[in-house]
Amino acid sequence: MRTQKQITILGIGNELLSGSVTNTNATYLSSQLARLGILVDRHVVVPDELDVIVSAIQECRARQSSVITTGGLGPTADDLSLEAVARYLDVPLEPSPRTEAHILKRIANYNQRASRAAAKMAQIPRGALILLNSLGTAPGVICSQDEFFVASLPGPPVELQPMFEQKVLPFLAKWAGRSPCFLRTRLRTAGLAEPQVIRKLGRYAAGVPGKLGVGIYTSYNGLDIVLEALTQSKSKRPPALMREYAQEIHRRLGPAVYAEADGTLEAIIGQLLRKKGLSLSLAESCTGGLISKMITDAPGASDYYRGSILAYSNGIKSSHLKISEALLRKHGAVSGPVARAMAKGVRESINTEIGVSITGIAGPTGGSAQKPVGTAFVGIADSRGSRVHQIRGYGTRSTVRKGLASKTLNLLRLHLLER
């Protein structure tokens, strides 16, 4: 699925090479360019050294690849991106009074005076298209020659992303010209392992060579199934083949598909609770409030989420969730009966329609042959009764907790679908 247009994403900064900063800009830009059907031929990272930056741009041009640089814009001596672009194009840096005035206005908003810094950042390669920074100070630029261009963008993602979407995308749409339109749709699943997904999909797991690609990728809450295709159509609607595959995959996987595009489990749960007019409370032990955090990540969670009891100790389980010491002694804190009692207890204590609990062993110690590290029990209680599920998390303490939290949310989602 290669196109004639291709771009190199050139990260500039010693902090990227040292590992002090993760290069999330490359991932973001690649996904954005894919939507335009523009091939990213490589990610490159170089230090804050003028000659190295210039050489990297020269290499890109030799491969007939245009360049988007990130970072290296700013007031300090090691911010060399624009100087490198100017040297490569053999044009001078010239002051831009309009840009300097914009920078000074933004600096004044922070009650600071930095006219020297503004003057440096307003030195722009002659002939460049200036991209004023609405969320920072350092401007971006686009310098183009024929079919080749260098776009220089700021390093902070909070500044880069709006600048790219508002000012670079329109430029790229024209530059891409007749490039095919790249189409992608994503089906998000939970509760199934990859072999199960592949078995259920059958021949639909392989896609159609040359027409439709199917990828299965691990995501935070399970697996994402991504369908990709190139078409000459500029319509944003998926072609018929992609729609057919998406519908068939959805049919084969059933309720394991919880969302399309970028939907999240917590957002879907919020929609179900809001639609059914139900309120929710949580009692967490091994996840330490992580499920509560995920639930409240969804905007508008106050419509249905009432609160949580973080019952990490048996004392809190007894005093706040009314779990008897006899039950704890008989079955242990990590057990189905205690999870069921926790769900009932939090539902009654906070007075909600649904109470959800989890108690488990996050590790790395505390496991046994009967209850290995990662073992957890989830309780779900409502007016119709209560249920208990045994689940398992894997890996480090962190991944165990995240996995248990996601699985608990999925069990809650499935419970809501049945109501």
Q: In this predicted model, what pLDDT tens digit does every residue of 123-156 receive, in sequence order?
A: 999 999 999 998 989 999 999 988 899 999 999 9
pLDDT at 1 over 50: no
User: Rounded distance, CA 211 to CA 310, Å?
Assistant: 51
- Given a contact cutoff of 8 angstroms between Cβ atoms, the answer to whether 387 and 355 are in contact is no
User: Rounded distance, CA 362 to CA 52, Å?
Assistant: 47
Residue 17 buriedness (CB in 10 A; 0-12 / 13-18 / 19+): middle
- Given a contact cutoff of 8 angstroms between Cβ atoms, the answer to whether 308 and 346 are in contact is yes
- The confidence band for 258, taking pLDDT boundaries of 50, 70 and 90, is very high
- The confidence band for 89, taking pLDDT boundaries of 50, 70 and 90, is very high
Q: Which residues contact 168 (CB under 8 A, 6 or more apart)?
A: 68, 131, 140, 142, 151, 153
DSSP 261: T
CA-wise closest residue to 44 among 78, 3, 7: 7
DSSP 204: G
* Diameter of the chain measured on Cα atoms: 82
- The confidence band for 34, taking pLDDT boundaries of 50, 70 and 90, is confident
pTM: 0.73
């199917």: which residue's tokens? 214
